Amino acid sequence: MTHGETRKKKRLPATERKKVILDAAQRTFVEFGYHGALMETIAERAEVTKPILYRHFPSKLDLLLSILDRAGEELRASLLRPDPAEMDWLTATRYSIHAYFDFVVRSEKAFRLIYATDLNVDSKASERITKIRKDIIKIVADMIASYTDLSAIPRRDIDILAIMLVGMVETTVIHWMNNKEIPHEAYEDNLIRAAGSILARLPARPS
């Protein structure tokens, strides 16, 4: 095979090349932190030249924002669930907690980037991370509201409860990532019991 044929074989479509670059950047940011990550390192890990890297992403910040956007979409998608009419509230709770853990197990580096990135890196990064967290809280709040008698409890209280539950899940997940001698299934089971005991106290939506 000639040198030209080898180069042609390795050439990837633009969308696929961008994914390779984002994967390399994500690993690098998690390993070295945003400020410690070098564009040279990212280019080397993605097996591209720096001009090609900058053609796709003009700056390191553009890379970070693209990774955060991708991670946020994956996390939001992992929490999508069937219509409330298709499952009871406890099944929905189990589903949502399992989906959250499943995302973390599949995409731990992406999760770490969302929850470990210094919010002072840049205002745009801070806005992205804040939006991701708010979106997750809204998904949970909407789920709770769909099973609750809204004439008996203010929506404001449901929103606050969602913040508390999401914070509980986030803290538990982060603890598991740093202490993996206990399987994540054990954390899931305990979270489901804790969340279930809280949600069971809410007035049920009329049939």
53/26 same-domain check: yes
Specify the CATH number for the domain of residue 32: 1.10.10.60
Boundary of a domain, candidates 11, 41, 58? 58
Q: Is residue 173 part of a domain?
A: yes
Q: Is residue 142 part of a domain?
A: yes
State the Cα angle at 63 between 139 and 115, rounded to 5°.
40
pTM: 0.85
138/45 same-domain check: no
76/13 same-domain check: no
Look at residue 167 in the predicted model and tell me its pLDDT. 94
Q: Which residue type, as a one-letter code, is found at position 26?
A: Q
163/105 same-domain check: yes
Total domains in the chain come to 2
53/74 same-domain check: no
d(CA 191, CA 45): 38
Q: Is residue 205 part of a domain?
A: no
Query: What domain range includes position 44?
Result: 3-58
76/50 same-domain check: no
Q: Is residue 110 part of a domain?
A: yes
Q: Is residue 207 part of a domain?
A: no
Q: Is residue 16 part of a domain?
A: yes
Specify the CATH number for the domain of residue 138: 1.10.357.10
147/166 same-domain check: yes
51/76 same-domain check: no
108/174 same-domain check: yes
85/170 same-domain check: yes
What is the residue-level pLDDT of the chain in tens, covering all 207 positions? Answer: 444 444 444 677 878 999 999 999 999 998 998 889 999 999 999 999 999 999 999 999 999 999 999 989 988 888 876 666 778 999 999 999 999 999 999 889 888 888 876 656 788 888 998 999 999 999 999 999 999 999 999 999 999 999 999 999 999 999 999 999 999 999 999 999 999 999 999 999 987
Start-to-end Cα distance in the chain: 70
Look at residue 118 in the predicted model and tell me its pLDDT. 65
Q: Is residue 12 part of a domain?
A: yes
Look at residue 27 in the predicted model and tell me its pLDDT. 93
29/96 same-domain check: no
Q: Is residue 24 part of a domain?
A: yes
